[in-house]
Structure 1
Amino acid sequence: MNSRFVRLAETARPPVSFTIDGEPAAALEGDTLLVAMLNAARSLRSSEFGEGRRAGFCLMGACQDCWVWTAAGERLRACSTEVREGLAIVTRDTEAAWLKLA
């Protein structure tokens, strides 16, 4: 299995297509981006502070662990953003100044 979450219910909602780092992914209408991404992958993004992967923590918008970006550079909190058709998600902010310090 390649995903962290397994959908057990609410399977009759309309499908939504989006991408994660250029790879196609599918979700169901009404899913949060966090649920959609973890139904498609094992993690949301890389840690800013090491080699670890992040998968969200609090699931309610308090911990700041689920930030991802759109291909246009918009920063989104995956746990409180609803997935939408055609959304292009990037799991690493290549424009962040702290990434260029290394």
Structure 2
Amino acid sequence: MDLIGNAFTMSELVAYAQGSVVSKTLIDKKIGTVTLFSFDAGQGLSEHTAPYDAFVQVVDGEALVNIEGAEHTVAAGQMIIMPANKPHSLKAVKPFKMLLVMIRA
């Protein structure tokens, strides 16, 4: 499916996979990326840092996002910004989909 110039339902672009994390890059440019993820319950991303702020829009489900030791519950329709150079991680409380936007400039 060609995403550019076409309407689509974001949650349908990545399926859940048992015991897995699935990602689909929607835009990959020098200035930044837009990536859609799905996480099965219990799956996540281990603690790490990134040199840029990371905008997360929750598309479906619920997850725990930890930023510098502070835990945040995020659910469908909510968003959170994970700040640059601060340790963060996330874990799906139940199957969870998110849109991750990273702008490098």
TM-score normalised by structure 1 residue count: 0.34
Give 1 or 2: higher helix fraction. Answer: 1
Q: Which has the higher strand share?
A: 2
